[in-house]
Structure 1
Amino acid sequence: MVRRLAWHVHGSGRPGIELEDLIQAGLVALTECAQKHSGPTEDGFAAYAKMRVRGAMVDLIRRTIPMSRGATERRKMLAEKEAELRTQLGRDPHPQELADAMGLAAQDLAALRDSSQPLRFDSIDEVYSDQNTAFADETPDSFSLMADEEVRESVIEAITELPERLKLVVQLYFVEEMNLAEIAEVLQVSIPRVHQLKAQALGKLRESLEGVADIL
């Protein structure tokens, strides 16, 4: 399964990553899936593992290529329009000419250019400043830490007391950040059924944590 997914992801035409790197990332993800579950016969393990393995491969590609998919598409669109105008005019188009051809204002074109640039990674030693609020310490005080720890323990205890199926839904939705359709595929049930299970889980958590923490 890992090798098949690696070939599929690698064959999507994305540069900058080797097939063996994808396989390695997939095997790590599969191992983590197995460690989180009691065994391969657990409800929905195969579908869940497949999603996590593929997700790990895609994440590896995204980390390797310092440009988002949206930025790549915007850059391609700009290049195509510039090439088209260059052919028509016999020279490089002026910014205003390019903006007019794309139906944009000059400032919108500038913003589009900025958003299509590759991400830049600087050493923290080079950019750090004591005056920069981005580096301000947001560590909570001791009282906040103690209060948060008490709430955390209460939430863990409430989740632990849930039935196994509801506990799995909570994990998939809030920890793994899967949507209802993905959870339905893992559990082999309908999307409305997943919605019901999620509502049951939240209802039980609200009862257990009443007066302790607010649960959406």
Structure 2
Amino acid sequence: MNYAPRSFAAARAYRDDTADRIRRFLPMVRRLAWHVHGSGRAGIDLEDLIQAGLVALTECSQKHTGQTEDGFAAYAKLRVRGAMVDLIRRTAPMSRSAADRRRTLRDHTESLSCALGRQPTEGELAEAMGLTLADLADLRAAAEPLRFETIDDAYSESSMAFADDRPDSFALLADEETRHVVGAAIAALPERLQMVIQLYFVEELNLAEIAAVLEVSVPRVHQLKAQALDKLRSLLGDGFEVV
């Protein structure tokens, strides 16, 4: 069997060129893996992302026929990152509609990248898809996969995402008990003193207005108010501060 020496030389040069590109763009693969891994997507190891990126980089090096190195860099970056995101997508739950939106974004992005020789800007992509920048941002958000994390991993007392200004159950029970005790103490007052407490603390009338309602003098209202508060302090005990 005869072998053409030129064929062996071409094949060797092809392999050497591919290996050289992989070595030169390996740092890019690692940077992209760190970026994707650090963007909050749980459940995927960094090494798995790097491996997926290397496979995509190898395929790019073998298939790319562009003349410029810048064109290859833009093409490779897009494909490598796409491979990493696809790996995450395969391991994350996603609705069919979200998958369709993601596919639409990817197809338009790849088409523009081939036409421009670089990754398109958000403005260029939005224009090509007939969308506004706000609509494109909404589309990207709707195309993201769902993420499920255990509450132990996600919860943080210092995170405002878990902040709640509502009182806890103990505070609610204590407040309910306080209202019950205070209500019972007020009900035990003479009717006239109950009226003073109602008008002053609930209706928020001043002493002159209460005097007009009760048809007594202002000093008399002041005296009745003092009597009511003294009786409440006696009924409620030391656990309550009545002012």
Whether TM-score is above 0.5 comes out as no
The bucket for the TM-score relative to the shorter chain is 0.3 to 0.5
Larger gyration radius, structure 1 or structure 2: 2
TM normalised by structure 1 equals 0.37
Greater helix share, structure number = 2
